[in-house]
Amino acid sequence: MSAKIDFDDNFHDDKSMIKKKKSRNYFVLATFLIVISLIVGAVGGVGGIILLSSDNGKVASQLGIKDISSLSIPTTRTEKIVVEESSAIIDVSKSVSPAVVSIVSKAIYQDIFGRTYQAGGAGTGFILTSDGLIITNKHVVAEINTQYTVVLSDGKSYDAEVKSRDPLNDLAVLKINATNLPVVELGDSDQLAVGQWVVAIGNALGKYQNTVTAGVVSGTNRSVEASDSTGQNSEKLDGLIQTDAAINSGNSGGPIVNLKGQVVGINTAVAADAQSIGFAIPINLAKSAIDSIKETGKIVRPYLGVRYVPITKDISEQNKLTVDYGALVVPGNGLGQVAVVSGSPADKAGIVENDIILEINGDRINAEHSLIQLIQQYKVGQQIELKILSKGKEKTVKLTLEEMK
């Protein structure tokens, strides 16, 4: 029995020794794994940086990594994008701001008691030519008997002359007597894409000169009915750019700029009952006005002489029309708002109320190409051909464009 106990004792002693050996082995193994993990982690960190900067993948191969397509550092990539965008906005602001001006108006008024007082307003514009041709919104310089002053970004001020007000769009051109002025570069607003970054620069609230805001293009080809703060002097504007870049009072007439530093739009209106919904006139619509002012000294616009409603699928279904595109000739809601202006090119061509203008020189009128946009591609005196749906039958008519008065 003692042998058994001894055996038992020896057995227990051997078991204890085995446990101690295993414990020491686990400790060594754990220590080894920790050291290896630290080394691999350090190499992985360095390797990750090297992999991001390596074009040939040699380092990845040396580390035993076959597929590096899944390796990425989202935070690093996000920071890189943010830095690039911020840098672009900074560069755009520096390059364009010197050509952006503040426009200040002052006028003397008389109240019903015969007392006189001075009132003023403020807006924005930008320089088109080095000798002082400036474009802005028509509503910024709408008052006839008013003194307008242009303040440059460096603080210099000049008396300004209103050269012309656009009879079609919310545009006007001023002139100051100056030379060697910085000018903007005009871009192509037809190339704008929804979601694209843009920068707005203007005289915010009439006192924060050359304020810079950034946002994206929220939509294109928008149509709005815009009016001043009194609710009067309303104007229908088509083909507008919608943006969420902050446009405040005083920004009117200032540029919307792409990240190349090119002007692609002119700030014109905001939705007063919404957040971050602003509108700008595409620069391509203004180019013909700019060319006209350079050639003739005033803005000359061709016109047809019709009031119309753009046809959409909804309008087509509601009115049981046979087409879902084109421009439906309709009278206005107010007094004197006729469908076709007497003596106009449309009147001379025989266009009447409820006719649908389908095409102009083969170009279909639709959401991407409004009637106004297509007409503005031509000059006063040019002859154009219109395809019209009249009383259920298609026909073509020719007319000569005349100047809008």
Any idea which residues carry the catalytic annotation? Answer: 139, 170, 252
Helix (H, G, I), strand (E, B) or coil at 381: coil
CA pair distance 90, 7, nearest whole angstrom: 86
Which H/E stretch holds residue 136? strand 133-136
Q: List, in order, residues 6 or more apart from 26 with CB less than 8 Å away.
A: none
CA pair distance 18, 320, nearest whole angstrom: 94
Bridge partners for 186 per DSSP: 263
Is 292 within 8 Å of 165 (Cβ atoms)?
A: no
Cβ burial 268-290 (10 Å sphere, 16+ → b, else e): bbbeeeeeebbbbbbbbbbebbb
Phi and psi dihedrals of 148, rounded to 5? -115, 135
